[in-house]
């Protein structure tokens, strides 16, 4: 049973229909109607010690920040802003109070930065290791919300930032390497990701975007979700994928495949979105103002996510289906 | 660092003030203003394998039901009704898909029973054992919400149902005993608690009640929270505590102290509330209609929760402070 099968199991046993539930299981957040003009977004993410983080190298304050950041990224991906944060914390019997103080300070800092507040939660003993679950409630204007299921054939596919940095950072942490500026950048991407909250808000307000989501499990899996839910396919070009210059050399030095990091690494918390090609120049203008945006391919009527290993416009390069080749918690 | 100290740590690092946050950390739920007439309630509870449940004796469907029930109890305790449910599930690498299907069926059944729906969540791998976190959003009329902090000197203290049953049930499960009807009742109280949703709604709508909360950590701790937050104290009488007839004999047979179960056992998911004595007969009338309610003592200006081991009205029985002697996840 893989992650998608588990989600499907629960999707089919969801209880009564509620009229206010505009979007349930299957997007970055659930969307709940508050009044005619407003929706609330609800997301929930769990980080487990030894699975999602390692206290040997993850400073507690950065983990506090990251716990919120990954949830804020989900709220951003639907065009919203976070309001209220709820924390359920599982701690082993002999947890370190100093660790907890630093963790809470990092979380509080991030609450200030993203303009939201800790409003409740639960504290329990875990059987082993630290387990951090956050629920974040956000808000979005009803006419600005962006879903995964609205990509259309002819749309172009865009991503923010550069990809594969967090995967590189994780690998560097695992190998206990620190070194120069480049490595520090990758490591920081893993330890302390920055969700694209402002950019996402601008994109949602622009009216240019058809479908959007955040990149948490890797482009190969996340874009496949977007395509599946929109009933479309995507073609992306390896030569267009935005990659930091030193990523390839770092990967080579470590005996790793950098394209694997870019496509399947996960935890980049960048945005992937689709927009009709008539808005390409509008988006380019917006990109200049608020950050780095790259067109990586287009949506068509075929199925899945197909990678062309090369540039667009060249004949005879085969398309390779990479759908759902990103991170899966339960893949054997 | 005990549970209260941990909660206090996070209470002091809660981020920005949000005008819509009517009640933050410290009650059964957070309360968020939706419009002039409505509040939303948010609660979050985590159940950890080997700490809160044992799969050897807890059938997965009943655990699915209980996971929701303990959260619905928090919503009920503030006078509300549940609307939306979010589940974050941590599963070990080699979890049993059959177990998961039964768990999801139990959760779905409970969603139907409590008229709410599963709207989202997260699925992750745990490092060990199953970890279940639910967030439940409920709704309450702004003029009916009940807090913990509104008990007043002169109020009488009431509880619903009978106490100590779940603690007895847990002990019976631990010892692998099943036996007759009485034991089954206690075991069922532990495995499949029924929150007092309807009763709580009636109490909230009655206008008689000053303060209310649910009993999850035992009367000694929960009533102490209510007193602390209200700036009052409580005197309760052991002879008034509502106890199922067979509890004492079951405890005796097992070499346990039944009063310990009643005061500190936890997980009864009954209601404790305070109301001015002028409403005693109104509440008695209400009790006849909807369920069992018992007056167990009164609120005064003293501190803490003081137990009188005997009936009310008798002279020279010392008061014993039992504040916070219930369940604490981190008590050494």
ipTM: 0.94
Write the pLDDT tens digit of every residue in B167-186: 999 999 999 987 677 789 99
The domain that holds A286 is classified in CATH as 3.90.650.10
Please list, in sequence order, all residues whose beta carbon lies within 8 angstroms of the beta carbon of residue A155, skipping any fewer than 6 positions away.
A210, A211, A274, A275, A276, A277, A298, A299
Q: How far is A245 from chain B (nearest CA, A)?
A: 32
The domain tally of chain A equals: 2
Same domain, A125 and A199: no
Same domain, A303 and A189: yes
Facing A48 at nearest CB: one of B9, B30, B126: B126
Do the domain assignments include residue A326? no
pLDDT (0 to 100) of residue B328: 65
Quick one: pLDDT band at residue B289, thresholds 50, 70, 90? confident
Q: Does B36 touch chain A (CB under 8 A)?
A: no
Same domain, B100 and B207: no
Same domain, B77 and B220: no
Do the domain assignments include residue B1? no
Question: Which chain A residues touch B47 with a CB distance below 8 Å?
Answer: 124
Q: Does A35 touch chain B (CB under 8 A)?
A: yes
Q: How far is B72 from chain A (nearest CA, A)?
A: 14
Sheet holding B30-33, edge to edge: B21-23, B30-33, B38-48, B131-141, B81-91, B117-125
Do the domain assignments include residue B98? yes
Q: Does B277 touch chain A (CB under 8 A)?
A: no
Cβ–Cβ of B91/A6 closer than 8 Å?
Answer: yes
> What are the structure tokens assigned to B61, written together?
């469907």
Same domain, A107 and A159: no
Q: Tell me which of A141, A174, A200 is where a domain ends.
A: A141
Same domain, B71 and B169: no
Same domain, A55 and A186: no
Same domain, A172 and A308: yes
Do the domain assignments include residue B150? no
Helix (H) or strand (E) holding B38: strand B38-48
Nearest CA in chain B to A110: B15
Question: Which chain A residues touch B8 with a CB distance below 8 Å?
Answer: none
Mutate to test the interface with A, among B7, B77, B135 (most CBs of A within 10 A): B135
Q: Tell me which of A106, A141, A176 is where a domain ends.
A: A141
Number of A–B residue contacts, CB under 8 Å = 242
Do the domain assignments include residue A216? yes
pLDDT (0 to 100) of residue B332: 44
Do the domain assignments include residue B2? no
Q: Which residue range is the domain that position A87 belongs to? A: 11-141
Same domain, B120 and B268: no
Where are the alpha helices (H) located in chain B, listed in sequence order? 3-11, 60-77, 97-113, 165-174, 181-191, 197-206, 219-230, 245-253, 258-264, 280-290
Quick one: pLDDT band at residue B287, thresholds 50, 70, 90? confident
Q: Tell me which of A111, A141, A171 is where a domain ends.
A: A141
Q: Does B9 touch chain A (CB under 8 A)?
A: yes
Tens place of pLDDT per residue across chain A (332 aa):
888 888 888 887 666 778 899 999 888 999 999 999 999 999 999 999 999 999 999 999 999 999 999 999 999 999 999 999 999 999 999 999 999 999 999 999 999 999 999 999 999 999 999 999 999 999 999 999 999 999 999 999 999 999 999 999 999 999 998 767 778 999 999 999 999 999 999 999 999 999 999 999 999 999 999 999 999 999 999 999 999 999 999 999 999 999 999 999 999 999 999 999 999 999 989 888 877 899 999 999 998 999 999 999 888 888 999 998 876 666 54
Q: Is the pTM of this model over 0.90?
A: yes
Write the pLDDT tens digit of every residue in B197-228: 999 999 999 999 999 999 999 999 999 999 99
d(CA B47, CA A122): 10
Same domain, A161 and A136: no
The domain that holds A41 is classified in CATH as 3.30.1330.10
Do the domain assignments include residue A147? no
Do the domain assignments include residue B21? yes
Nearest CA in chain B to A93: B330
Cβ–Cβ of A86/B6 closer than 8 Å?
Answer: no
Question: Which chain A residues touch B119 with a CB distance below 8 Å?
Answer: 14, 18, 21, 24-25, 30, 32, 42
Same domain, B165 and B314: yes
Same domain, B73 and B178: no
């Amino acid at each position: 049973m893989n992650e998608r099968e588990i989600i499907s199991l629960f999707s089919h046993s969801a209880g009564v229909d509620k009229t206010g539930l505009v979007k349930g299981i299957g997007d970055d957040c659930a969307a709940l109607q508050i009044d005619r003009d407003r929706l609330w977004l609800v997301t929930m993410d769990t980080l487990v010690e030894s699975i999602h983080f390692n206290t040997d190298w993850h400073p507690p304050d950065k983990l506090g920040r990251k716990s919120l950041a990954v949830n804020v990224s989900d709220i951003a991906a639907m065009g919203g802003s976070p309001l209220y944060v709820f924390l359920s914390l599982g701690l082993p019997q002999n947890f370190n109070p100093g660790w907890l103080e630093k963790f809470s300070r990092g979380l509080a800092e991030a609450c200030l930065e993203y303009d939201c507040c800790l409003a409740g939660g639960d504290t329990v003993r875990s059987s082993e290791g630290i387990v951090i679950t956050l629920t974040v409630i956000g808000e979005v204007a009803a006419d600005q919300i962006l879903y995964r299921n609205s990509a259309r054939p002819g749309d172009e596919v865009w991503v923010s930032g550069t990809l594969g940095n967090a995967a590189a950072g994780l690998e560097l942490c695992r190998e206990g390497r620190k070194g120069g500026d480049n490595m520090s950048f990758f490591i920081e991407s893993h330890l302390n990701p920055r969700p694209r909250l402002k950019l996402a808000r601008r994109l949602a307000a622009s009216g240019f975007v058809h479908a959007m989501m955040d990149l948490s499990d890797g482009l190969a899996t996340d874009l496949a979700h977007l395509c599946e839910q929109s009933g479309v396919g995507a073609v992306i070009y390896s030569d267009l994928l935005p990659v930091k210059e030193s990523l390839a050399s770092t990967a080579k030095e470590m005996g790793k495949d950098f394209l694997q990091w870019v496509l399947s690494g996960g935890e980049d918390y960048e945005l992937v979105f689709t927009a009709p090609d008539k808005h390409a120049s509008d988006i380019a203008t917006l990109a200049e103002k608020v950050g780095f945006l790259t067109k990586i391919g287009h949506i068509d009527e075929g199925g899945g996510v197909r990678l062309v290993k090369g540039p667009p416009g060249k004949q005879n390069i085969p398309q390779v289906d990479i759908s759902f080749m990103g991170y899966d918690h339960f893949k054997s």
